[in-house]
Structure 1
Amino acid sequence: MPEPGAAPRRSPQGVPYTDLQHIVNADGLHLFCRYWEPADPPRALVFVAHGAGEHCGWYAEIAQRLKELSLLVFAHDHVGHGQSEGDRMNIKDFQVYIRDSLQHIDVMKARHPDLPVFIVGHSMGGAISILTACERPGDFAGVVLIAPMVQMNPDSATPFKVPHYVHSFSQLRQLSYSTDISFFLSRQVEAYDTDELNFHGGMRVSFGMQLMGAAARIEREIPSISWPFLLLHGDADKLCDIRGSRMMHENAPSSDKKLKVYDGGYHALHHDLPEVAESVLKEVTTWITERLPATTLQEPQGS
């Protein structure tokens, strides 16, 4: 708690957290939160984990579609991202992302204790989602992964595919999200570059090391994954290796798993060409609603 008379904590953009929806994590950092609450009683909870360098506002369209199906969607900007506190796109331990996700999920579960919980994660958020579900495999009704960071790309120094001229961690310092990665991210390059809440600097060596460690941990966890999951990946993804998704789909022992590959799809499939983005939205919403408890599905609509 701030001392009496102390100035309120402010977001990196200068907005007092008293004016923003937020949670405070175990390190005392304020994390900006978004909630998409349906008008009717919610049928499930859906936590969204965004990717590296971006923020949870980029998932409004997916969240809105799920909200229209009476699902309560919630998300936060990870530490060091968007409107949350913390060193910009840097982390002392990747586990912090997982810990914070579980904290937020627990807050929402306490408010809605009888609802099934799903996770939707993209890119680094996919890695966060996988490891979060692995920590509590019995807690989640399903996990949706859009171009997740699963496997190391043997041709580069990071779990992301990066331009061929980047051969070492020292060169990663010069790799700018605004000039390189956004080009490969999605078709909406200008929107990404002009969004002031996105991170537009270079990737730090320490951050790359944390990503590498997370990918290695995921590879160790895959043989024990039993929870349902949906994998969506574009075969033109230049950032996260599609071979990781294929490996996870093949090797995870889950009895409920699906991989859909989009020919020519970029990294951010939900912001790809209109027909691709629409297909992704339908896949996500259909897959989740098909896994709601039967009693939930039988509730009359509009009553």
Structure 2
Amino acid sequence: MQTLTQPLSATFDVSNGQKVFYRHWKTADSPKAVVVIVHGFNSHSGYYQWTADQLVDSGYEAYALDLRGRGNSDGERFYIEDMNEFVGDVDQLVSIVKATHPGLPVFVLGHSAGGVLSCLYMLAHQDRVNGFICESFAYQVPAPDFAIAVLKGLSHLAPHAHVLKLKNEDFSRDATAVESMNNDPLIAHEVQPTRTVQQLAVADERLKKEFSNIQVPLFIIHGSLDKATKPSGSEFFYKQASSTDKTLKIYEGHYHDMLNDLDKEVVMGDILDWLNQRA
């Protein structure tokens, strides 16, 4: 039976004086590379314990932050005023990683809205990383265009109004994982504010124009039965990215949070194979 790797926890300060919380899972020996994890909605760094265990067992150290307003980080709950501030937070964590592990390859794993944030990070800082794993990309969501337009308009009138609720049951086919989400006080009553939805939509519009600027090695993965985001968004990203080293894999029958879903071992095995070939 695998032993859980107990993470170290720490914080770093951001420009507005708030503290961003992160976890760090260490290897017993010298690591061969580091993976920085960026979570999405209805989530935080604590959801990556199993993933981190697999990474550590394979010789990788893992870091995962709680985005502002989520998990154990400071900030208005679930609110994103400016996505660029969050890009800066990811870069600050990458800086900590690079200072702690000089010379080691650094990879980013971004899930859902964290994948959108990680994509924006790539546009600004892809020279700082060795590859990007994009899971369940929230580039396209199953909502009518008019609804997104209405929410974008509301973001100016009522930016703090909570309007978008994702169902925990859509994240995983594993009843135990869903029960854990339902009982997690850190995501209890999570509903996204209009400003958060607007910032995600603005980011998606920018990415549509700038996907071709991304050249870092890519592993893009999505579940075919994802109800929270559309696999077609990942397919579009794959087609538009300029990376010469890029792979797209759609997992038949998988839900939104593939690393906390049934058959997560298959997905993790593919991630480790991809990392091992590039680390």
For Structure 1 versus Structure 2, the TM-score category normalised by the shorter chain is 0.7 to 0.9
For residue 278 of structure 1, the aligned residue among 250, 265, 271 is: 265
**In the alignment, is the contact (CA less than 8 A) between 1:90 and 1:204 conserved in 2?**
yes
Say which SS state the counterpart of residue 114 (structure 1) adopts. Answer: coil
Say which SS state the counterpart of residue 126 (structure 2) adopts. Answer: coil
Say which SS state the counterpart of residue 41 (structure 1) adopts. Answer: coil
CA distance in 1, matches of 2:67, 2:147: 20
Residue aligning to 1:22: 11
CA distance in 2, matches of 1:24, 1:146: 28
Percent identity among equivalent residues?
31
Q: 1:153: how far off?
A: 4.9
Say which SS state the counterpart of residue 26 (structure 1) adopts. Answer: coil
Counterpart of 1:282, as a letter, is G
Q: 1:108: how far off?
A: 1.5
Deviates more, 1:240-249 or 1:131-140: 131-140
Q: 1:48: how far off?
A: 0.3
Q: Which runs of 5+ in 1 are unaligned?
A: 1-18, 160-166, 293-303
Q: 1:157: how far off?
A: 5.6
Residue aligning to 2:254: 265
Question: Is 2:113 the partner of 1:120?
Answer: no
CA gap of 1:74–1:158, structure 2 versus 1, over 3 A, is farther
Q: 1:97: how far off?
A: 1.3
Q: What CA deviation, in whole Å up to 9, does each residue of 1:9-64 have, x standing for no partner?
A: xxxxxxxxxx9521112221111110011011111121000112310110111111
Q: What CA deviation, in whole Å up to 9, does each residue of 1:178-203 have, x standing for no partner?
A: xxx21212223221111112242322
RMSD: 2.0
Q: TM-score, normalised by structure 1?
A: 0.81
**In the alignment, is the contact (CA less than 8 A) between 1:151 and 1:216 conserved in 2?**
no
Question: Is 2:170 the partner of 1:184?
Answer: yes
Q: 1:257: how far off?
A: 0.6
More strand by share: 2
Q: What CA deviation, in whole Å up to 9, does each residue of 1:53-94 have, x standing for no partner?
A: 310110111111111122111111000001100000001101
**In the alignment, is the contact (CA less than 8 A) between 2:9 and 2:23 conserved in 1?**
no
CA distance in 1, matches of 2:221, 2:48: 15
CA distance in 2, matches of 1:111, 1:158: 44
Say which SS state the counterpart of residue 81 (structure 2) adopts. Answer: coil
Question: Is 2:227 the partner of 1:241?
Answer: no
Q: What CA deviation, in whole Å up to 9, does each residue of 1:153-178 have, x standing for no partner?
A: 5625677xxxxxxx9537x845444x
CA distance in 1, matches of 2:72, 2:26: 20
Residue aligning to 1:201: 190
Q: Which runs of 5+ in 2 are unaligned?
A: 1-7, 155-160
Question: Is 2:61 the partner of 1:83?
Answer: no
More helix by share: 2
- The number of aligned residues is 261
Q: What CA deviation, in whole Å up to 9, does each residue of 1:91-129 have, x standing for no partner?
A: 110111110000111011012221111001110111111
Say which SS state the counterpart of residue 137 (structure 1) adopts. Answer: helix
**In the alignment, is the contact (CA less than 8 A) between 2:141 and 2:228 conserved in 1?**
no
Structure 1 outlier segments of 4+, above 3 Å = 151-154, 156-159, 167-170, 172-177
**In the alignment, is the contact (CA less than 8 A) between 2:39 and 2:45 conserved in 1?**
yes
Question: Is 2:78 the partner of 1:92?
Answer: no
For residue 35 of structure 1, the aligned residue among 1, 24, 37 is: 24
For residue 287 of structure 1, the aligned residue among 271, 274, 279 is: 274
Counterpart of 1:81, as a letter, is R
**In the alignment, is the contact (CA less than 8 A) between 2:163 and 2:194 conserved in 1?**
no
CA gap of 1:120–1:89, structure 2 versus 1, over 3 A, is same
Deviates more, 1:77-86 or 1:149-158: 149-158
Question: Is 2:240 the partner of 1:256?
Answer: no
